[in-house]
Structure 1
């Protein structure tokens, strides 16, 4: 066997097409990930799902090409018929392992841009090994049927293309249920999907392993048939094998055992959910309205179905039903309860149309119901399920009161809407000094309800005293404010009135001392400025400039903001816990700027002009990390009484809507942090942990925008050029060895 394997490897080593195929395979994988998803152009993500998704299409020509090369080896060796294809299988499979090894340079390079999920890498590569075992066996089977190597190449590539893309068929027409089941059964790419997310699926693992054996044995039967072997023993062996494989397949398809290797156990039910489900005493019905077309467009909905079924297993009182909305003709009823279809474009050979699809969940309990209007993946699924079930069984609302103490004209209506969408019942209250002016209730009248305050422009001395007493007596407060205000609608001048100063002094009680500066950071947002004049004020044709604005900070991913968030003209602060301890308090920073941030001192006025503000500190000594958010906790208590967020503009309508193509998605994270703050104040840490459970930082935070171009060149060289160099080196070594051997 050893000498036969050497013959195969020597055949591969002396054939230049081997190196071309391996190099092309690696380039396809690398460019598919880095160029296909615009990794270096702002859309990059360290999630390696699209990296692993490139392997199945890459093998369509790669494997038939390798088998074509191996078919040149004369099979004149003496082996039992059942082992005749084993050397070819092993040699091709090991060459595939080498190609996979070279592709491993991609996740290595990605790790220099941001964090990668190690379990996703390990399980993904394990899955692709089993995938290749099945695919290699399948191609060998095709080559054993057809005598011509060229025809075998075309036929095997054609069938590989089918089994790697057949799951997309429902995009173009709505097949019957039995046909959909067949399509998913034969799709290799669909079955590989779970491995690419860090889930080890026993059913899919056994499927690939059994396929590798099945097609190998079929190739053996074909070989015996061509030899004219018509023995009774062989016929019985065929029947027994086919019956055993069919029985094994039926049993395997009913297995749904998966091992979640992700670091946060994203696909497993947590202890918090199990605790809530253990309190359910009456039946809870979960209805999942899922359109069949969506299954192929977004394979992630398969995870939703699997998780719902796993969730229901945790309680005998919980049941799950998967409903096809079009089949049941209940679109109108769904619309009445706030569930509407999501429009997607579908096309065929002659036409294109817009179809409404559904992926919504309705939870029923004792005549009451809650809904999740649209869900595509499990990123927040467990959090939403558990929170809504908890709300139903406890019959408790989640009230929060909001005070707008800012003179900011555009207000905070988007923040109100976001809070309500997150399940909070918003009550608008006022400062005690403003009671009866527009709102009848001041915040101190609702001492048991957590309080959110935006801005500090309207504080009076009395308001500050009442707010301090409110907090010290057990009230829960989230304050978003700088100790000044910015004229955002006009010239961006910074002002500080008496109210701002009163607020600043109030924070002294909690050991928080605002700096008399503005905070800048190298990590910032790029703004769009349009002008029709030059620097001297002379009119010229309108032009647009894109400017990195250091006063609009982009906080990088960190413990309390896993996806980062944005701040606008923030004012950092120092913390003195010796002062806080006077009131038996302890203040802890929650959010920080990067280590390349600095302070702009106040002269006559702060420089806020985007064209004039310094783009960096004057010296390296001025760079540092600064706290921009903190929590204050009472002695012997776990949860904070106060959260100070040193920016009121991150939650305002104008800044949330500014340049919505790029900033809206970033700044919605500040609203998400606001909701997280309410959970912290309410002591709902377990529920908050569910919300952040599947949040994994996939941003390219390790590389700055200035260095992205150089990093891109190095990355593409490492993942595309370096594998070619390695292949050429190996080929040159074998060329020299062959030359010496010939001499």
Structure 2
């Protein structure tokens, strides 16, 4: 018996050692082999896009990514898994690049603590201030890596923690690209952020983007009536693009201020009618294959308190645009009717009230929340999540915007491809324009509602030119002499032959990108940057999905559903046991 026990123990130990050795051997063999990962999330958050692998495989030189992140012990509870998720994403990118991408993890907080300890030790030993070299925090600040505050809730304690979570991309001797804040809520867009910056790094020069309108100017004949220059409504949009690595050149599309040469993308914000020559220059740009982001505002509105307390009047202010002259040949138009939607947002309107204080009359102002169907809010369910342009967008404020009228017969005739970026809700309608004056904002009859209408589209193909006969003359400057007018004469059109393949992003609202909205709503910034990235940096970027985790809300349960749920929870188990008991009893009787 003892010999059998010894033999069993001996066999067990030898088998265990052999099994352990086999596991270690297999692990060492497959350590550097990518056998794939399984992503079971509904949104495929952790799966690398095929286009990203293609872009990385074409890298001509190694690229280094440094992830500056605080240790998980110092992170808030909801941030503790962020470092692991980012490292997993970087590992996949490294494998897809076939060794041309490498990454390093660095904890600046630990380095700051070490520096503080070393400075204190030197000061204690020598009596002099320690560490004359530049501190780690200052060096990182020069790079653009800056710690930021995040809210932390631990038990009954609420605090704001200062943490690092930034990515720095280095390529050859070019200026480093920085993703300043990597957060759990933006992790889904991390792949897109990295790939767009790689595009900028591998390019030999900063991408050049044109922007219309240019700096606002006062016509010479009216300068005596103005005390200051009109406000620049697109100042923040231009600043945002420049901070993102673009060389933005503004233009008013005049003979003195023409569209710059060598641009990859042209951003055109149309708030007023264009002259013939301006439309010709835009037509020529599209004909030559320069990508265009085109936004046009057909209507603005003035909302003010009415004489009836608690009510507000809406007055229309038409822009009287003529851009449809050229867009008709491209397969779409900007509707001239006033567009309204039941899905609306609130804005603050100042209301003034005069009160008597003894012998004095005091005028007070308060802000009143107002919603009207022209203050359109684009909900998440009406945004196309299949394109990276709009996938990470949660909601948009389509202030006073109009609908796009897409002519599908012309689209098919010209072999264009159209994809809708976002639409209105199913309860939208139009009111005919009667110029300046009061606007009826009452809900339309259900029979007059239009359903979901396209508000922004992405179009690919060859766009048909309008000005194929002659070149319209430039608008003469006030006070121009006869010689200048002679030089301004028209000539033969340059828009001959087949147009170049091109892409265009179109929306019926310029207010999306004006200062007041763009500065306060993150989704509008993302829409502008994504649109410029896609048209400027490459075809493959549009296929890289921004994989945000969707928020799936539980639908409201009806009264009948609640009754059924309660009955099921109370009676299902007793009925199941009673049924099983009856079946068992009947079986025994048969036996």
Give the Cα separation in 1 of the matches to 2:288 and 2:273.
23
> 2:266 matched to which residue of 1?
451
Post-superposition offset of 1:531: 4.6
**CA offset digits 1:435-461 (Å, max 9, x no partner):** 4xxxxx422x32543111223326333
Post-superposition offset of 1:571: 2.0
> 2:172 matched to which residue of 1?
366
Q: 1:251 to 1:411 in 2, by over 3 A?
A: farther
> 2:144 matched to which residue of 1?
338
> 1:82 matched to which residue of 2?
none
**CA offset digits 1:599-639 (Å, max 9, x no partner):** 1222464655xxx621x212324333323334363168895
Superposition map of 1:541-690 within 5 A = 544-545=368-369, 547=371, 549-554=373-378, 556-558=382-384, 559=386, 561-562=390-391, 563=393, 564-576=395-407, 586=416, 588=418, 590=420, 591-603=422-434, 605=436, 607=438, 613-614=441-442, 616-630=443-457, 631=459, 633-634=461-462, 640-656=502-518, 664=521, 668-682=522-536, 684-690=538-544
Give the Cα separation in 2 of the matches to 1:252 and 1:418.
51
Q: 1:422 to 1:249 in 2, by over 3 A?
A: farther
Counterpart selection for 1:276 from 44, 55, 74 = 55
Post-superposition offset of 1:488: 7.6
3-state SS of paired residue (1:457)? coil
Q: Structure 2 regions of 5+ residues with no counterpart?
A: 113-135, 217-229, 306-312, 355-362, 464-497
Post-superposition offset of 1:309: 1.8
Post-superposition offset of 1:551: 3.9
> 2:321 matched to which residue of 1?
501
> 1:424 matched to which residue of 2?
246
1:288 counterpart = 2:114:
no
> 1:516 matched to which residue of 2?
336
Q: 1:588 to 1:607 in 2, by over 3 A?
A: farther
**Which has the larger helix fraction?**
1
Q: 1:585 to 1:619 in 2, by over 3 A?
A: same
3-state SS of paired residue (2:441)? coil
Post-superposition offset of 1:403: 1.4
Deviates more, 1:459-468 or 1:257-266: 257-266
Q: 1:551 to 1:332 in 2, by over 3 A?
A: closer
Superposition map of 1:231-310 within 5 A = 258-262=37-41, 265-292=44-71, 293-294=74-75, 297-298=78-79, 299-310=81-92
3-state SS of paired residue (1:415)? helix
Give the Cα separation in 2 of the matches to 1:309 and 1:271.
15
Post-superposition offset of 1:304: 0.6
> 2:190 matched to which residue of 1?
381
Counterpart selection for 2:297 from 482, 485, 489 = 482
3-state SS of paired residue (1:477)? strand
Give the Cα separation in 2 of the matches to 1:250 and 1:728.
53
Post-superposition offset of 1:356: 2.3
Q: 1:648 to 1:716 in 2, by over 3 A?
A: farther
> 2:547 matched to which residue of 1?
694
Residue 493 of structure 1 contacts residue 606 of structure 1 at CA under 8 Å; is this kept in 2?
Answer: yes
Q: How many residues align?
A: 476
Deviates more, 1:620-629 or 1:358-367: 620-629
Give the Cα separation in 1 of the matches to 2:287 and 2:412.
12
Give the Cα separation in 2 of the matches to 1:249 and 1:354.
45
> 1:316 matched to which residue of 2?
99
Give the Cα separation in 1 of the matches to 2:579 and 2:160.
62
Give the Cα separation in 2 of the matches to 1:580 and 1:249.
60
TM-score when normalising by structure 1: 0.54
Q: 1:384 to 1:545 in 2, by over 3 A?
A: closer
Counterpart selection for 2:208 from 399, 416, 437 = 399
Residue 374 of structure 2 contacts residue 401 of structure 2 at CA under 8 Å; is this kept in 1?
Answer: no
**Which has the larger strand fraction?**
2
Q: 1:546 to 1:269 in 2, by over 3 A?
A: same
